[in-house]
Chain A
């Protein structure tokens, strides 16, 4: 079975540009999570969806960040405009139900110059 799929795996962009990260959760999972990992702050939950509905976006750092889940098999995380401090690894994860283990995608390494 395919795991969580993320694209792109690496993204290098210039400050001010729009960045869109994509995620396809595991089929049948109804919870989807976006995390950011940096050396300074570790793993941070940005937002999570349950049945395609955003449940908690309190971790989204600022209005430049937005996330959507138009259907059960696709989600996007958008940063507009991007800034150098957004450089991090962004992970998408999905789980079957509440309190079940989350399965992580391979991550997108974002570098903003």
Chain B
């Protein structure tokens, strides 16, 4: 069965520290998609990245980077030089290509990141 595990419930860092949020997934499919979303204190869910299972290249976007490793079923997210505005709950999610019709996102339980000034 498909599952997304974010073992870190809460992380607290001081501004300018680097921080890595872990995401481990389980799936039966060989074709799937992985996502990260950010939920700041204001409550909205903000899309950050989508990655398909055939593309294991790491991605960098400004201070954000993502490390996808199929061998360990992990899709970790690193914030470099964290800032107070990065404080939020971060969700990892999985979408399987199951039967060709579904488009469901399976979310992890989220990691609360608190960046202290």
Instruction: Spell out A's residues near B (CB within 8 Å).
Output: 31, 33, 42-43, 45, 48, 50, 55-56, 89, 91, 93, 95, 98-107, 109
- Distance of A21 Cα from B29 Cα, bound (Å): 35
- How far apart are A97's CB and chain B's nearest CB, in angstroms? 8
Instruction: Spell out B's residues near A (CB within 8 Å).
Output: 33, 35, 37, 43-47, 50, 52, 91, 95, 97, 101-105, 107, 109-110
Give chain B residues whose Cβ lies under 8 Å from the Cβ of A100: 50
Q: Which applies to chain A's interface (DSSP): helix, strand, loop or mixed? A: strand
Inter-subunit contact A101/B47 (CB<8 Å): yes
Q: A102-B47, A104-B44, A104-B45 are in contact. Are A42 and B103 (CB under 8 A)?
A: no
Inter-subunit contact A102/B102 (CB<8 Å): no
Give chain B residues whose Cβ lies under 8 Å from the Cβ of A109: 43
- Distance of A105 Cα from B35 Cα, bound (Å): 17
